[in-house]
Amino acid sequence: MSKQPVAPTATAAAGEVPMHLFRKAVEQAALAISITDAKANILYANGAFQRITGYGQDEVVGHNESILSYRVTPKLVYETLWAQIQRQRPWNGLLVNKRKDGSRYLADVTITPVVSEDGDTTHYLGMHRDVTEVHRLERQVQNQKTLIESVVDAAQVAIVLLDDKERVVLDNQEYKKLVSDLGKEPALKLLAALREQMGDAFAKAHDKHRNIAAREVCIETPKKTSRWFSCAISWFEEHDVGADAFYEPLRRHYLLLTIQDISEIKRQQEALRINSLRALLSEQERIQGLRETLAGAVYQLEGPLNMLSAVAAMMERRRDNGADLPAASALDEAMQKSREALETLRSCIPCQSNEAMQPVDLNEVLVDVLKLTTANLLSAGVVVEWLPSSGATTISGHPAQLTNLFKQLVSNAIEAMNERRGGTRELRLTCSTHADHIEIRVEDSGPGIADDLRYKVFQPFFTTKGAARQHLGLGLAMAQEVINQHGGTIDIDPAWRTGCRVRVQLPLIAGGSHD
């Protein structure tokens, strides 16, 4: 059913509204409306005024508007109010009002002067509404914001909020410290590191605004040192507060990144790992020493025993020819006992560790070796150049044996350089990946090894260290044994003339990429 337009009444000319309609509209308005004389004495108050203040029409008419004043509003506010309305300008502000029952409320008041045709202010129109609840909510939001900001600021982890264009919209004190340490913008550097570490998984989580649990990432500082951080991502959804979005809510997603500096924990863990590795290697060295000593003793005894064997065989032949040799049986018995003693000695040689074969990253092994020998390298004043491989460096092997092997080679290099007085002391450690193997070179600037000794140094009991030697000369022989166990090769580069270059080649695990 269509509505018919209402025809204007006879009393109202075009564009005019009848007076009784004005009165009814004011009377029924939801705003508290009052009309006063020029001194704020109330002449009229509408229904909403009575509902809000608790005063009936009769109780307020004739009284000043100050009947509502709770007297905590500063005098200056009233002075400003009056100065404004006396200049015939409307005033708007907040006043603390008191109801008839004594309870207080916050009033959002607008006062408009009513000016006569002569230009005098004859009356004032007052309109106000109770905004106590709005104010309470605003304060609550403000308090919560302050609370959240103080908690975020006091947090021991760095916190940063990024908008959808990865611009920082909020951060805390710890994050600001990171900015001064790492330069701008640490959050972006860490996100890039996470992206690289997680690959597609990061992109998926990011696109679907899924949280990412704490992950450890390493980034390089401007001073070229490494810092470790544990980073977690969570999302915060904001509803647009603009008028446009009132009926059609717009959502914005913010990325909340929490960052914990774990460099110190990592450093301690690494120190602990290197210490346990050192303990493991020294145990291995002790066993190695025992192996060297017992193998040496067996080797030393084997010579005379072989000679005795030859004598016994000679006597045996003579006895076969009829000679009467009573000492022969005694010699046989002595030989028998000696062989048994030698076997007992041989069985006492401890075997190499029974460490399981496992994937071993040679770049990491060599870094460990440098850490283990740092003190020796520093005290010998050796300049170290470390060139890791950028290709695959994982082989199948015994990690502790390999670490010990390269530690032995580096220790040999330091000893060799210590033998030479003066001159530069340089150690270069190179790891390079080839089609089917990895080559490690240990180069030193020591006296080198003469051509005729290049193979001999790998023989058991051969040493170039003369009378003052501390070793039996089994170091390189044992190294050779470890290399053999790993299916690799070890040699001394004949073309290297400015010191010694030991080359080790170890087979790469199938599927590795080369430099």
Residues within the interface to ligand FAD (CB under 6 A):
34, 36, 39-40, 64-66, 68-69, 71, 73, 75, 78-79, 82, 95, 97, 107, 109, 111, 124, 126, 128
Cα–Cα distance for residue pair 184/168, rounded to 1 Å: 11
Minimum Å gap between C-beta 149 and ligand FAD is 35
Give min distance, CB of 73 to ligand FAD, in A: 6
Question: Nearest-5° angle of CA 80, CA 82, CA 87?
Answer: 100
| Maximal CA-CA distance, the chain | 168
Residue 113 or 488 with smaller CB distance to ligand FAD: 113
Nearer to ligand FAD, 14 or 76 (CB): 76
Cβ at position 74, least distance to ligand FAD in Å:
10
Measured CA to CA in angstroms, residue 302 lies from 343, 349, 471, 479 at distances of: 11, 15, 20, 23
Looking at residue 439, the DSSP 8-state letter turns out to be E
> How far is it, in rounded angstroms, from Cα 277 to Cα 271?
10
Q: Which is nearer to ligand FAD, 44 or 462 (CB)?
A: 44
Nearer to ligand FAD, 55 or 458 (CB): 55
Nearer to ligand FAD, 36 or 433 (CB): 36
Helix, strand, coil fractions of the chain, as percent rounded to 5: 45, 25, 30
C-beta closer to ligand FAD: residue 22 or 82:
82
| The two three-digit tokens of residue 164, written as one number | 């959808």
Rounded to an integer, what distance in angstroms lies between the CA atom of residue 400 and that of residue 492?
Answer: 23
For residue 476, give the nearest of 457, 449, 492, 504 by alpha carbon.
457
CB of 137 to ligand FAD, least distance (A): 22
The C-alpha atoms of residue 71 and residue 95 are separated, in whole angstroms, by 9
**Shortest spacing between CB 61 and ligand FAD, in angstroms:** 13
Nearest residue to 123 via CA among 42, 28, 60, 61: 42
**How many angstroms separate the CA atoms of 371 and 365, rounded?**
10
Listed in sequence order, the residues at least 6 apart from 329 whose beta carbon sits closer than 8 Å to its beta carbon are none
Position of tokens 């916050």?
106
Least distance between ligand FAD and beta carbon 46 (Å): 13
CB 130 to ligand FAD: min, Å? 11
Instruction: Give the nearer residue to ligand FAD in terms of CB position, either 69 or 396.
Output: 69
Q: Output Rg (C-alpha) for the chain, integer angstroms.
A: 47
CB of residue 138 to ligand FAD, shortest distance in Å: 20
Residue (of 208, 204, 184, 185) closest to 195 by Cα position: 204
Minimum distance, C-beta of residue 91 to ligand FAD, in the bound complex (Å): 9
Please check whether residue 486 is in contact with residue 502, taking contact to mean a CB–CB distance below 8 angstroms. Answer: no
Residue closer to ligand FAD, measured from CB, 7 or 72 = 72
**Rounded CA separation 470/292 (Å):** 12
Interatomic CA distance for residues 508 and 515, integer angstroms: 13
Given a contact cutoff of 8 angstroms between Cβ atoms, the answer to whether 232 and 248 are in contact is no
Question: Could you tell me how far CA 398 lies from the centroid of its own chain?
Answer: 31
**Nearest to ligand FAD of 45, 255 (CB atom):** 45
CA atoms within 13 A on the CB side of 6: 5
Nearest distance, CB of residue 92 and ligand FAD, angstroms: 12
- For the bound state, the minimum distance from the C-beta of residue 54 to ligand FAD, rounded and expressed in Å, comes to 13
